[in-house]
């Protein structure tokens, strides 16, 4: 029997310890992640405050009931019901539509809306951010079976936009094809998500649904024109 | 040609007729599910690549049926058969399946589940295999048969796993044996995981079943309970595959692990110890998850690759040292001594290659930050077909080539043809995977049949990029090759199940093997296993780095949301 061979007579590549060593090699991938800033290099992450939008996670967001109150609060947009969201999105489209049907968000509109709301809370939160950062312009994007509203957005290059997005019925995606890759985003149902995005290149970018949402899923798309 | 003293063949032949019928029932339905799944796969691929005209609604039905039939029913019927078979054949003193009536009940329950799941696709709303219940908001009752199918499958699996455990435990209880062989130990660990999956399945699918029956107001938390189930489901067929590699390599070469039986048991135990607990990390996958928890989750998912790598190293190092004892020379020269003319050897060899490829690309995707580039794109089916088709299904088919003729007494159909199929399948998968992964990097979504995105309004109109179509063409070519190869395999398995094929068949015990038993050269080096792992890890580094570089070049800057 092979096992009968005395350990000393074995080549080291045939010892269990070496096999385990080789097996653990895959863990070194962590160093590469750290080099790209995708993994903490010290325990400092314990003190780090979470910043930025939540990354899209492979399995998250397939839930009927994800519209919990906690979720909405955590998503930072303040609690907003789907009805309120629909109302403001329709106003956004009505106020800012151009003759060709595309919608061009403006800073004036964003400020007027903030003033109208008397939104102290919003300003307080803004003040907490870096003071020199340019204040983003609001964009509303509503996803529903099987279209987006507005369908065509006209944005300026190198200007930050605060996308406020909600799926009105089931989970959808609102991915943007830019450069030669996709920027994949999931939008769980009835949850308001906010994300500030700045487009650094001119062009026409496709918005497309990347979460299967029913029979018309593959007709669900929109467009962002960056000028 | 050496007549094999194969334990697998001899042990299977020695089973009593009642057990043989039971196992044949599982394997016949498994082959049927595979056949159906391939038909649906071909239609799905046709829909995606424009191979022949197929409406979008039909294509979604085919995609759903493909996923359900092949990922659930093919993989679990075949596993049920093998877990019972290995427990009965490899546990000394067992010799038969314990609690056989319960196993039959499990079979009937699983079959009823399959009928129920398939029939749900005659309805209106189309669920894909992940059964997202929110798609049923208009009319929940349309999902009844879908969830009923999965619930029955889970219940049946629990019964089968119980029988397999009982089969292995009984001789120990009766004092016939002192300890298990590594294989019966593995069968018990595998059954344990099957039980966990069955419970996770019931936990995920009972609430939506009750909801679709009108017995519940809503389904909360489906996404999470599906994730927990899905996590366990990833590792089950993976573990089954490496156990079968071990069994099959022992059968075609006579080798034993040079690391000893205890080490093999520890490795198999790692699956059982780590897989279910790590599924809990999905519970923390909420959007506002703390960085630390994400990192721990990612590290755990890295760790979970370790047992599979260990089994690979154990098998390759053992083969290498046995081959060296037979005079095998050179770093790679010894590989030529393996019995490649045997269809099972060729299949397992290519399965290892495909598994490595799939492993590399799956390790890229576990980095959470890359989800924004690759999740929900064709990258995902692009890489996992290496695992599900080239690694897992090919291994199960290889094992069936030995086992079905041993059960039926029929011959193995045209071994010379079967020994070539794994290479053609790998070429097909290479096209499918390369096209799919490239498509994923270009943002081609998965689960989309109208890639053109055409509308008449000039302001709204935007063309999908031209390269998208090109890559779908490559995927289509790969799909055709894969489908052709798998169809030939299915035909061969059906012949072995139902036809004597005296003229063109060969007795499985006379398939070409080598007999290296009892002669490992443990003084000699065995570098090929470790070097392959090194190459794999290097490829993981390469593709992870490539992905980060591409991500950084996407002309969208995502900043803090001002709060
Ligand atoms: C002839 C061989 C096969 C071909 C040509 C094929 C092709 C495809 C295609 C084109 C898709 C659709 C991708 C998309 O649009 O999202 C797909 C999805 C899938 N395939 Fe296969 N496949 C094959 C075999 C298998 C096998 C053997 C398995 C598992 C054991 C499998 C599991 C899956 C799964 C789980 C999905 C995902 C379904 C979903 O997204 O809902 N496939 N396959
Ligand atoms: Cu959608």
- pLDDT for the residue numbered B327: 87
**Which DSSP category does A47 fall into?**
T
Gap between the Cα atoms of B261 and B183, Å rounded = 9
Tokens 């989970």, located at residue: A171
Q: What is the CA radius of gyration of chain A?
A: 24
**Separation of CA A175 and ligand 2 centre (Å):** 10
Domain count, chain B: 1
Give yes or no for residue B50 having a pLDDT over 80.
Answer: no
- B126–A215 CB contact, under 8 Å: yes
Length of chain A: 227
Gap between the Cα atoms of A184 and B375, Å rounded = 7
**Angle at which helices A82-96 and A107-117 cross, to 10°:** 140
Q: Is residue B99 part of a domain?
A: yes
A164: left (phi over 0), alpha (psi -120 to 50) or beta: beta
Q: Is residue B52 part of a domain?
A: yes
CA distances from B442 to A82, A180, B459, B539 (A): 33, 5, 24, 20
Of A99-108, B1-10, B332-341, B478-487, the poorest mean pLDDT is in B1-10
Of A108-117, B20-29, B472-481, B553-562, the poorest mean pLDDT is in B553-562
User: Of all helices (H) and strands (E), which one includes residue B466?
Assistant: helix B466-498
Residues A201 and A157: beta-carbon distance below 8 Å:
yes
Q: Is residue B312 part of a domain?
A: yes
The string of pLDDT tens digits covering residues B294-306 is 667 767 778 888 8
CA distances from B176 to B169, B211, B537 (A): 10, 49, 45
What sign does the CA torsion over B272, B278, B280, B283 have? negative
Give yes or no for residue B5 having a pLDDT over 70.
Answer: no
Give yes or no for residue B4 having a pLDDT over 60.
Answer: no
> Concatenated DSSP letters for B259-321?
T-HHHHHHHHHHHHHHHHHHHGGGGG--TT--HHHHHHHHHHHHHTTHHHHHHHHHHHHHHHH
The string of pLDDT tens digits covering residues A97-136 is 999 989 999 999 999 998 887 755 555 455 444 444 578 9
What ligand is nearest to the CA atom of residue A142? 2
Smallest Cβ distance to B554: which of A3, A18, A181? A181
CA neighbours closer than 13 Å in the CB half-sphere of residue B248: 33
Give yes or no for residue A7 having a pLDDT over 80.
Answer: no
The string of pLDDT tens digits covering residues B142-181 is 999 999 999 999 999 999 999 999 999 999 998 888 889 9
Ligand 1 pocket test: which of B381, B428, B430, B479 has the largest number of ligand atoms within 8 Å of its C-beta?
B381
pTM (2 decimals)? 0.92
Q: Is residue B1 part of a domain?
A: no
Gap between the Cα atoms of B264 and B270, Å rounded = 10
Q: Is residue B131 part of a domain?
A: yes
Q: Is residue B2 part of a domain?
A: no
**Which DSSP category does A163 fall into?**
E
Q: In DSSP terms, which residues pair with B556 in a beta bridge?
A: A199
The string of pLDDT tens digits covering residues B24-38 is 999 999 999 999 999
- pLDDT for the residue numbered B248: 96
Gap between the Cα atoms of B23 and B10, Å rounded = 15
- pLDDT for the residue numbered B217: 86
Percentage helix, strand, coil, to 5, in chain A? 35, 25, 40
Length of chain B: 563
Residues A66 and A190: beta-carbon distance below 8 Å:
yes
Which two tokens mark B112? 């009823």
- Beta-carbon contacts of A132 under 8 Å, excluding residues fewer than 6 positions away, are none
- pLDDT for the residue numbered B243: 95
- Virtual torsion, Cα B419, B423, B425, B426, nearest 10 deg: 150
Look at B187 and A58; give whichever has higher pLDDT: B187
| CB count in 10 Å sphere of residue B330 | 9
Residues B81 and B106: beta-carbon distance below 8 Å:
no
Ligand 1 atom with the smallest distance to the CA of B480 is 5
CA distances from A42 to B211, B292, B299, B396 (A): 47, 11, 15, 44
- pLDDT for the residue numbered B83: 97
Q: Which domain covers residue B442, as residue numbers?
A: 7-562
Strands A160-167 and A137-144: parallel
> Concatenated DSSP letters for B315-384?
HHHHHHHHHHHTT--STTGGGGGS-TTSHHHHHHHHHHHHHHHHHHHHHHHTSGGGHHHHTTBTHHHHHH
The string of pLDDT tens digits covering residues A177-218 is 987 888 998 888 888 989 999 999 999 999 999 999 998 898
Of B226-240, B267-281, B479-493, the poorest mean pLDDT is in B267-281
Gap between the Cα atoms of B214 and A56, Å rounded = 33
**Separation of CA B135 and ligand 2 centre (Å):** 11
- Virtual torsion, Cα B386, B388, B394, B397, nearest 10 deg: -170
Gap between the Cα atoms of B165 and B88, Å rounded = 10
Gap between the Cα atoms of B558 and B551, Å rounded = 11
Evaluate: CB of B364 within 6 angstroms of ligand 1: no
Q: Is residue B384 part of a domain?
A: yes
Evaluate: CB of B48 within 6 angstroms of ligand 1: yes
Q: Which domains does chain A have, with CATH numbers?
A: 7-45 (no CATH), 54-226 (2.60.40.420)
Q: Is B561 on the interface with A (CB under 8 A)?
A: yes
> Concatenated DSSP letters for B80-134?
HHHHHHHHHHHSTTT-S-TTHHHHHHHHHHHHHHHHHHHHGGGSSSPP-TT--GG
Q: Is B269 on the interface with A (CB under 8 A)?
A: no
Longest dimension (CA), chain B: 80
Q: In chain A, count of helices (H) and strands (E)?
A: 6, 11
Gap between the Cα atoms of B141 and A134, Å rounded = 51
* Average pLDDT taken over every residue of chain B: 90
Q: Is B283 on the interface with A (CB under 8 A)?
A: no
Q: In chain B, count of helices (H) and strands (E)?
A: 19, 3
DSSP-H helix ranges across chain A: 16-23, 29-35, 69-74, 82-96, 107-117, 120-128
Gap between the Cα atoms of B445 and B262, Å rounded = 46
- pLDDT for the residue numbered B466: 83
Evaluate: CB of B67 within 6 angstroms of ligand 1: yes
Give the domain CATH number at B245.
1.20.210.10
CA distances from B94 to B168, B177, B178, B246 (A): 7, 9, 13, 20
CB burial string B300-320: b at 16+ within 10 A, e below:
bbbbbbbbbbbbbbbbbbbbb
CA neighbours closer than 13 Å in the CB half-sphere of residue A222: 25
Strands B556-559 and A193-199: antiparallel
Q: How far is B445 from chain A (nearest CA, A)?
A: 6
Contacts of B286 in chain A (CB under 8 A): 60, 71
Gap between the Cα atoms of B558 and B542, Å rounded = 25
The string of pLDDT tens digits covering residues A26-60 is 999 988 988 988 876 655 444 444 444 443 333 33
Which residues are within 5 Å of ligand 2 (an ion), measured at CB? A 172, 209, 213, 220
What ligand is nearest to the CA atom of residue B62? 1
Gap between the Cα atoms of B397 and B418, Å rounded = 11
Q: In DSSP terms, which residues pair with A223 in a beta bridge?
A: A152, A206
**Angle at which helices A120-128 and A107-117 cross, to 10°:** 120
- pLDDT for the residue numbered B133: 93
- pLDDT for the residue numbered B2: 44
Instruction: Residue A109: name the closest of A90, A96, A128 by CA.
Output: A96
Distance of CA B210 to the CA centre of its chain: 30
Contacts of A182 in chain B (CB under 8 A): 373, 377, 442-445
Q: Is residue B197 part of a domain?
A: yes
């Amino acid at each position: 029997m092979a096992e009968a061979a005395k350990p000393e007579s074995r080549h080291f590549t045939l010892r269990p310890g070496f096999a385990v060593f080789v097996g653990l090699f895959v863990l070194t991938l962590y160093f590469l992640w750290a080099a790209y800033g995708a993994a903490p290099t010290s325990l400092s992450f314990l003190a780090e405050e979470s910043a930025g939008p939540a990354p899209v996670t492979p399995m998250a967001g397939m839930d009927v009931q994800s519209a919990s109150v906690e979720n909405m609060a955590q998503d930072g947009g303040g609690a907003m019901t789907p009805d309120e969201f629909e109302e403001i999105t329709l106003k956004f489209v009505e106020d800012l539509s151009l003759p060709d049907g595309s919608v061009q968000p403006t800073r004036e509109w964003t400020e007027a809306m903030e003033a109208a709301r008397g939104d102290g809370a919003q300003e307080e939160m803004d003040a907490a951010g870096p003071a020199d950062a340019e204040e983003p312009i609001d964009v509303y994007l509503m996803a529903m079976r099987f279209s987006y509203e507005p369908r065509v957005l006209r944005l300026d290059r190198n200007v930050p936009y605060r996308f406020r997005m909600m799926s009105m019925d089931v989970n959808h995606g609102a991915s943007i094809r830019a450069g030669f890759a996709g920027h994949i985003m999931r939008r769980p149902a009835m949850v308001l998500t906010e994300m500030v995005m700045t487009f650094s290149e001119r062009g026409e970018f496709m918005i497309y649904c990347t979460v299967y949402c029913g029979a018309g899923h593959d007709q669900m798309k929109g467009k962002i024109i960056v000028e | 040609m050496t007549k094999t003293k194969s334990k697998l063949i001899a042990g299977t032949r020695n089973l009593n007729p009642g057990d043989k019928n039971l196992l044949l029932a599982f394997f016949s339905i498994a082959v049927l599910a595979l056949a159906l799944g391939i038909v649906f796969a071909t239609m799905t691929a046709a829909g995606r690549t424009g191979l022949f005209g197929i409406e979008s609604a039909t294509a979604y039905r085919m995609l759903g049926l493909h996923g359900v039939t092949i990922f659930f029913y093919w993989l679990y019927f075949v596993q049920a058969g093998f877990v019972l078979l290995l427990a009965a054949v490899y546990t000394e003193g067992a010799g038969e399946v314990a609690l056989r009536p319960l196993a039959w009940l499990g079979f009937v329950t699983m079959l009823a589940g399959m009928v129920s799941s398939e029939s749900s696709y005659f309805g209106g709303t189309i669920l894909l295999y992940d059964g997202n219940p929110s798609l049923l908001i208009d009319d929940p009752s349309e999902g009844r048969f879908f969830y009923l199918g999965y619930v029955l499958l889970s219940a049946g699996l629990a019964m089968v796993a119980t029988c397999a455990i009982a089969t292995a435990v009984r001789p120990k209880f009766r004092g016939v044996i002192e300890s298990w062989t590594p294989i019966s130990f593995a069968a018990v660990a595998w059954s344990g995981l099957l039980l966990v999956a069955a419970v996770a399945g019931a936990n995920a699918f009972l609430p939506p079943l009750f909801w679709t029956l009108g017995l519940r107001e809503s389904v909360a938390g489906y996404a999470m309970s599906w994730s927990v189930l899905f996590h366990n489901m990833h590792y089950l067929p993976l573990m089954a595959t490496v156990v079968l590699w071990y069994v099959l390599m022992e059968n075609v070469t006579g080798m034993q692990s040079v690391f000893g039986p205890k080490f093999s048991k520890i490795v198999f135990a790692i699956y059982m110890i780590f897989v279910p607990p790590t599924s809990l990390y999905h519970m923390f996958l909420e959007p506002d998850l703390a960085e630390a928890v994400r990192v721990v989750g990612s590290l755990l998912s890295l760790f979970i690759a370790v047992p599979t790598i260990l089994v690979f190293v154990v098998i390759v190092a053992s083969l290498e040292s046995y081959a060296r004892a037979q005079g095998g020379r050179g770093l790679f020269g010894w590989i030529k001594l393996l019995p490649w003319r045997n269809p099972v050897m060729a299949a397992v060899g290519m399965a290892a290659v495909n598994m490595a490829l799939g492993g590399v690309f799956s390790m890229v995707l576990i980095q959470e930050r890359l989800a924004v580039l690759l999740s929900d794109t064709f990258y995902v089916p692009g890489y996992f077909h290496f695992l599900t088709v080239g690694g897992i299904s090919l291994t199960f088919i290889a094992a069936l080539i030995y086992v079905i003729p041993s059960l039926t007494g029929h011959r193995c159909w045209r071994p010379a043809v079967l020994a070539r199929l794994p290479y053609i399948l790998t070429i097909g998968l290479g096209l499918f995977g390369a096209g799919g992964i490239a498509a994923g990097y270009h943002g081609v979504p998965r689960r989309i049949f109208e890639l053109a995105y055409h509308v008449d309004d000039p302001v709204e109109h935007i063309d999908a990029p031209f390269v998208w179509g090109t890559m779908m063409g490559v995927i289509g070519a790969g799909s055709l090759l894969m489908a052709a190869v798998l169809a030939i395999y299915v035909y061969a398995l059906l012949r072995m199940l139902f036809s004597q094929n005296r003229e063109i068949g060969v007795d499985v015990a006379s398939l070409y093997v080598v007999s290296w038993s009892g002669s490992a050269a443990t003084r000699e080096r065995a570098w090929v296993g470790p070097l392959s792992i090194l190459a794999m890890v290097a490829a993981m580094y390469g593709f992870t780095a490539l992905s980060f570089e591409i991500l950084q070049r996407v002309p969208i800057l995502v900043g803090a949301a001002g709060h």
